[in-house]
Amino acid sequence: ETGVTQTPRHLVMGMTNKKSLKCEQHLGHNAMYWYKQSAKKPLELMFVYNFKEQTENNSVPSRFSPECPNSSHLFLHLHTLQPEDSALYLCASSHRVYRETQYFGPGTRLLVL
């Protein structure tokens, strides 16, 4: 048990749907992250939040919209996705942003039809 939970664990959506992924951390951390993991590719950082403020957007398309209402919760809002967006989306948290161990949630497996 890593202390980072993600819901839903699996999601199938059409290209015209709008859905949201949720992440919650119970570790008292101040930094939270979204990563994308596609087959045959390294883990890709998408967004970084530090004390609820976005500090990094790694050139992510606007069809992905993050939201961080507090240091314990992180959302990823999805709309008009493409089939190539199908992947495992992982949330992580750490005490601080720089040079700190990140702890990961179990991920949401997303399939876009």
Partner 1 sequence: SQELEQSPQSLIVQEGKNLTINCTSSKTLYGLYWYKQKYGEGLIFLMMLQKGGEEKSHEKITAKLDEKKQQSSLHITASQPSHAGIYLCGADDYQGGSEKLVFGKGTKLTVNP
Smaller CB separation from partner 1, 80 or 103: 103
**Where does this chain touch partner 1 (CB under 8 A) — which range of 12-20, 61-69, 70-78, 94-102?**
94-102
**Where does this chain touch partner 1 (CB under 8 A) — which range of 13-21, 63-71, 77-85, 87-95?**
87-95
Question: Is residue 56 close enough to count as binding partner 1 by CB under 8 A?
Answer: yes
The beta-carbon contacts of 105-109 under 8 Å, at least 24 apart in sequence, are 105/2, 105/4, 105/5, 105/6, 105/23, 105/25, 106/5, 106/6, 106/9, 107/6, 107/9, 107/37, 108/6, 108/7, 108/8, 108/9, 108/10, 108/11, 108/21, 109/9, 109/10, 109/11
Do the Cβ atoms of 113 and 12 come closer than 8 Å?
A: yes
Question: Is residue 66 close enough to count as binding partner 1 by CB under 8 A?
Answer: no
Question: Is residue 75 close enough to count as binding partner 1 by CB under 8 A?
Answer: no
Question: Is residue 4 close enough to count as binding partner 1 by CB under 8 A?
Answer: yes
Question: Is residue 74 close enough to count as binding partner 1 by CB under 8 A?
Answer: no
Binding site for partner 1 (CB under 8 A): 2, 4, 6, 40-43, 45, 48, 55-56, 58, 88, 90, 92, 97-99, 101-107, 109
